[in-house]
Structure 1
Amino acid sequence: MKKKRILSLCMGLFFSTLLYSQMVGIKTNVVMDALRIINVGAEIGLSKKMTLDLYANYNPWEYKELQMMKMLALQPELRYWFCDRFNGHFVGAHIHGGVYQAAGIDMPFGIWPDLKDHRFKGHFYGMGVSYGYQWILSKRWNLEGNIGFGYARVKYEQFECKTCGDKVGEGHKNYVGPTKAALSLIYVF
C-alpha cells in the first residue's frame, strides 16, 4: 500500500507540473529499453537555463537460470543548461531511491560477490551529479546522452538461496560510482 501512495504522489507531482511548465519533453532511455526495463521520464522547463528531469524505471521480470533483478527506482534531477534548455551541454544534481530484489547476478569488478549465490531485497537512496548533451533532431524530437556519478546507501536482507530459504542476514552497503547512464529519445511539446 505504501508503494501505491508513493507512486500516486509522484504521478500527481508529474502531471501538476506539466500544467504549469513552459516546455515539456517526454523521454525514454533506449539503453533501458534494450534491457527490457520499463522506463519513462519527463523534463520540465523551469526557466531559460533550468529544467527539472523526472525519471522512473520499473523492472518486474525474472531472467533465465534463476537470475532476478526486480526494482522500482525514481531519479529526479535539477539541470542547468549552458545554452538554452533542451539544447547542448548541461550539468545536473540528482537524488535517487527505490526498492529492489535481486539474485543470481554476477556483478562486475567484484562489487557484490554474494549476489551470485544468494537473494537480496531491500531499498536504496542517494545522490549524485551528472553531465549530458542534447541534440535537436527535428522540431519535436531530441536525442540526449547523460552520465552521472554519485553515492547510494543500499540496505538489504540476505536469503540462503536464489529462490527460497531463510533470512540469513541484513545490513547495508555504501556505493560510490556511476549512478546514471542514459541515451534517451525525447519528444518535446
Structure 2
Amino acid sequence: MYKIHRFFIIYLLLSTCILSSVYAQKVAVKTNLGYWGAAASPNAALEFALGKKFTLEAGGGFNLWEFSDNKKAKHWLAQPELRYWFCDVFNGHFIGLHGHGAQFNIGNWDIPVGRLEKFKDHRYEGYLYGAGLSYGYQWVLSPRWNFEASLGGGFARIHYDKFPCTTCGTKLDEGDYNYWGVTKAAVSLIYFFK
C-alpha cells in the first residue's frame, strides 16, 4: 500500500510541474459524467496543451464511502493520458496513450456481468497499475465549453486480497490477475481557462 500512496503523491507533483510549464494558452478542467453516474465517484482532470497537436490530461477520481446494505466501492484512481489531435488541440478526433494506477476495496455488488459477478459474495482489496490506448472526439460548444466522448482499452495488473464478505476480516485468498479489456470510458464536460 505504501508504494501506491507514493505513486499518487508523485503523480500530483508531476501534474503541478506540468501546469507551471504549459506551452500554449489553453488549459481545461473536466469531469467525467459517466464516472459520476456509474460509480458515484467525484472526479476531475486538468488537460494542458503541449503544442499544436498534443495535450496532456492529468485526471483521477475517488470514492471513500459505503453504500446501503454494506456495499463497498471505495477506491482512488489516477489516469494520466498523452493525446495526439488530428486537427487542432481540443477539437475533433484524438488518440491517446494512458497509464493508470488505483487502490480499491470493493464488495457486495450484484453485477451479473462477466468477472464483476464475483463482487456479490466476496470483497476484494488491493491495487492495480497498467496502460492502454484510447480514441475520442471533442465537440466545441462555446469559447469556454466543450463536450467529449472517449473509449480506451489496454492492460491492468491487479494484486488483490479476497475476503468472504464486506464486513468479514479473515482473508480467504490473495493473488494477481492480468486484465485485458476496457480501461477507460468517458463522457466529459470541459471548461477552459484563458
Output the TM-score relative to the length of structure 2.
0.90
Distance across 1 between alignment mates of 2:84 and 2:145: 20
What does 1:32-51 align with in structure 2 at a 5 Å threshold? 32-34=35-37, 35-51=39-55
Q: Does 1:180 align with 2:184?
A: yes
Q: Which amino acid aligns with 1:119?
A: R
Mean Cα deviation higher: 33-42 or 176-185: 33-42
Q: Which amino acid aligns with 1:168?
A: L
Distance across 2 between alignment mates of 1:104 and 1:146: 29
Conservation of the 8 A alpha-carbon contact between 2:95 and 2:134: yes
Q: Does 1:55 align with 2:47?
A: no
Mean Cα deviation higher: 151-160 or 76-85: 151-160
Q: Which amino acid aligns with 1:95?
A: G
Q: Does 1:31 align with 2:19?
A: no
Which one of 166, 170, 176 corresponds to residue 166 of structure 1? 170
Distance across 2 between alignment mates of 1:152 and 1:9: 20
Which one of 42, 64, 75 corresponds to residue 79 of structure 2? 75
Distance across 2 between alignment mates of 1:55 and 1:7: 11
For residue 64 of structure 1, what is the aligned residue in structure 2? 68
Mean Cα deviation higher: 10-19 or 35-44: 10-19
For residue 128 of structure 2, what is the aligned residue in structure 1? 124
Mean Cα deviation higher: 169-178 or 1-10: 1-10
For residue 17 of structure 1, what is the aligned residue in structure 2? 18
Deviation at 1:113, TM superposition (A): 3.8
Distance across 2 between alignment mates of 1:155 and 1:6: 15
Mean Cα deviation higher: 67-76 or 113-122: 113-122
Output the TM-score relative to the length of structure 1.
0.93
3-state SS in 2 of match to 1:167: coil
Structure 2's unaligned 5+ residue stretches are none
Deviation at 1:28, TM superposition (A): 0.6
How far does the alpha carbon of each residue in 1:114-139 deviate from its partner, in whole angstroms, 9 at most, with x for none? 32111110000111110000111111
Deviation at 1:142, TM superposition (A): 0.8
Distance across 2 between alignment mates of 1:104 and 1:91: 36
Distance across 2 between alignment mates of 1:106 and 1:53: 33
Conservation of the 8 A alpha-carbon contact between 2:8 and 2:78: no
Q: Which amino acid aligns with 1:78?
A: L
Which one of 155, 160, 179 corresponds to residue 159 of structure 2? 155
Conservation of the 8 A alpha-carbon contact between 2:152 and 2:183: yes
For residue 97 of structure 1, what is the aligned residue in structure 2? 101
User: Which aligned segments of 4 or more residues in structure 1 are displaced greater than 6 angstroms?
Assistant: none
Mean Cα deviation higher: 130-139 or 155-164: 155-164
Mean Cα deviation higher: 143-152 or 109-118: 109-118
Distance 1:67 1:40, change over 3 A: same
CA RMSD in angstroms, aligned pairs only: 1.7
